[in-house]
Amino acid sequence: MAWLVRAEPDVVCLQELKAEQNAFPAQALRAAGYEAVWQGERSWNGVAILTRGHAAVLTRATLPGNADDRQARYIEAAVNGVLIASLYLPNGNPQPGLKFDYKLAWFERLIAYAGQLIAAGVPVVLAGDYNVVPTAQDIYPTKSLDDNALIQPQSREAFARLLSQGWTDALRSLQPEGPLWTFWDYKRDRWPKDKGMRLDHFLLSPSMAERLVDGGVDRWARGEENASDHAPAWIVLDL
């Protein structure tokens, strides 16, 4: 709530709600000026889109491609003429194993659906926690995470294949070089030592990439008491 008051974003994509559908704090957010669409899940996952000043018209509450997958990891809405998705890609640890297999299968579904969106030519923002460190410059120098699902070649290759459809990695396009952390693990003093990584990405369709003005990471929020291990990433689009 402190971040909403300070940053005053027009649209917010949230992941990892860890709340059932009827436990989402819609009233508190409404009091702060935000309407919401959300998909909750007991104990884990959960995604939401908050809007201020424009209604969010829900278009999808699941990622297509597997009708049996009940995990709340994708939600999509039309907001002020733009299709916005909030996604929470599976972590995939430990790997190898079933969780990593699920991560890669979910990634394939995302790539297939994202290709349809590109082909349709609609203005799209795919925002969220991709649980992928795209390149070596997107993580602090370390060998301790070589077995982590976030940096495996298969994960990085899938992200690169997604980009190759014509999506723009907004934050990297604004800052092509150097550290651009969005996540600092709670363990081993990684926040105070600034040992972070970039897991949270905005992928923009071609028409949206032309409208990208600015972007960054609100690192201050990560230093607050009881903070998330992710700091809010943000972009500005000129519509």
Residue with tokens 């704090």: 25
All residues at 6 or more sequence positions from 89 whose CB lies less than 8 Å from its CB, including other chains: 73, 103, 106, 107, 110, 128, 129, 130, 131, 132
Q: Which residues, at least 6 apart from 6, have a Cβ–Cβ distance to it below 8 Å?
A: none
3-state secondary structure the chain: CHHHHHHCCCEEEEECCCCCHHHCCHHHHHHCCCEEEEECCCCCCCEEEEECCCCEEEEECCCCCCCCCCCCCEEEEEECCEEEEEEECCCCCCCCCHHHHHHHHHHHHHHHHHHHHHHHCCCEEEEEECCCCCCHHHECCCCCCCCCHHHCHHHHHHHHHHHCCCCEEHHHHHCCCCCCCCECCCHHHCCCCCCCECCEEEEECHHHHCCEEEEEECHHHHHCCCCCCECCEEEEECC
> Which CATH number does the domain 89-237 belong to among 1.10.287.370, 3.60.10.10, 1.10.287.1770, 3.40.50.300?
3.60.10.10
Q: Which residues of 35-56 are buried (b: 16+ CB within 10 A; e: fewer)?
A: ebbbbbbeeebbbbbbbeeeeb
Please report the pLDDT score of residue 78 as a whole number. 98
Where are the chain's structural domains? 89-237
pLDDT tens across the length of the chain (239 residues): 999 999 999 999 999 999 999 999 999 999 999 999 999 999 999 999 999 999 999 999 999 999 999 999 999 999 999 999 999 999 999 999 999 999 999 999 999 999 999 999 999 999 999 999 999 999 999 999 999 999 999 999 999 999 999 999 999 999 999 999 999 999 999 999 999 999 999 999 999 999 999 999 999 999 999 999 999 999 999 99
Q: How far apart are CA 135 and CA 78, in angstroms?
A: 31
Amino acid identity for residue 30 in this structure: R
Note whether 131 and 83 are within 8 A (CB): no
pTM of the model: 0.97
Q: Of the candidates 13, 14, 57, 21, which has an alpha carbon nearest to the alpha carbon of residue 39? A: 21
